[in-house]
Structure 1
Amino acid sequence: MSGRVSSDVNTLAALVFEDSEAANGIVEAFARDVSLAGHRIGGVIQIADATQACDCRDTLLYDVETGERVSILQDLGRQSQSCRVDTSAIAHAAHLIATALERSPDLLFINRFGKLEIEGNGLLSEIGAAAVAGIPTLVCVPARFLEAWRRFTMGFDEELPCSAEALQQWWSAVKQRSAPTPVSIDASSG
């Protein structure tokens, strides 16, 4: 899959992935590099952590600004077949993202577009608010949900392959687009 980054780059980008762990690592390194370069970042990225009692890996959201970690999965026991997503944790993540949006970061991270967002819940409102505000925003989108993402964004996004190079290319284009235009002063007028 190739990215759609162009001279008319959109500020909303989807990092389309097959392997969740690979996407998490790429985004974590990218967020660190952008922050170290002096850019103000906000929002949450997804990381996997320790195994829970149910022998399932826990999934954490990491607030890139404060370092806070939020577990988004419930331990429902070994035999549970129910959805493990903790809706109160997702609500907390939405609050973290909304708070970051208020500060207008140079780049906002939203961990995923998934089943909850497809159903109109989860972090869908925050993705929309960031897009409307024109804040450069990176959202990780599993390939299996790409068609639903496309219906949501209606082409007002950039689809990026899951690579550090694609992220850098998009971010460079976004920075260039938002760079101030030099003002020319005509000395002959006046």
Structure 2
Amino acid sequence: MTNHTIDTPILAGVVFRTKQPVDAAIEAARIALTDRGVRVDGVRQDRVHDPETGRQTLIVRDLRDTWSLPILEPRGDAATGCRLDPHAIADLSVRLDTLFDPSPDLLLVNRFGRAESEERGLRDVFEKAALNHIPLLVAVREDYVESWQSFHGGMGTELPMDCDAILAWWDRLSIASAAE
């Protein structure tokens, strides 16, 4: 991809509220884009049952279904606060870094959240995508929209949690890329 202007933002955050099915909207868009021949790579987030604890936990899976990675620390029922495992996120960052050669048409990453708003987490992956002009699609919970906007500094946009809105963003981006 070539350099994009603010009119055609290469970073898109799908804004959602807690417990809204943002992953389903992004997955529907991913399938539609893949069906169009767009090379989409990255990870998606899934809730799965952990047989050891009997609780739901979060994993990320690569879009090729070749690996999955638990991203929450198993801290027990009495634990409070963020359970995001920083070691798992560091591992995920390294795995995502391998996707830049060759670059996908679109990089899909599960979340821009608390860790990224605190300048940690997968922020380096998002920065690398922006610096390499690789379009990025990421879910952004409404609590972190301000941090997302500060991060992208005009190179990004916010989208509603809607497959058609995601596809329309991609179409605008593709038209702008073809014109450059």
* TM-score normalised by the chain length of structure 1: 0.84
2:41 touches 2:106 (CA, 8 Å); kept in 1?
A: yes
Q: Please state how far the C-alpha of 1:7 moved relative to its aligned partner.
A: 9.0
Residue ranges of structure 1 left out of the alignment (5+ in a row): 1-5, 182-190
2:39 paired residue number: 40
Specify the code of the residue in structure 2 equivalent to 1:161. Answer: P
* Larger CA Rg, structure 1 vs 2: 1
Q: How does 1:1-190 map to 2 (within 5 A)?
A: 8-51=7-50, 53-179=52-178
Q: Please state how far the C-alpha of 1:32 moved relative to its aligned partner.
A: 2.1
* TM-score normalised by the chain length of structure 2: 0.88
Alpha-carbon distance between aligned partners in 2 of 1:139 and 1:31, rounded to the nearest angstrom: 12
* Runs of 4 or more above 4 Å deviation: 51-55
Indicate the larger mover: 30-39 or 147-156.
30-39
Alpha-carbon distance between aligned partners in 2 of 1:127 and 1:20, rounded to the nearest angstrom: 24
> How many positions carry a matched residue from both structures?
176
1:31 touches 1:64 (CA, 8 Å); kept in 2?
A: no
Residue ranges of structure 2 left out of the alignment (5+ in a row): none
Q: Please state how far the C-alpha of 1:36 moved relative to its aligned partner.
A: 2.6
Q: 3-state SS of the aligned residue for 1:26?
A: helix
Specify the code of the residue in structure 2 equivalent to 1:58. Answer: T
Q: 3-state SS of the aligned residue for 2:147?
A: helix
Q: 3-state SS of the aligned residue for 1:111?
A: strand
Q: 3-state SS of the aligned residue for 2:111?
A: coil
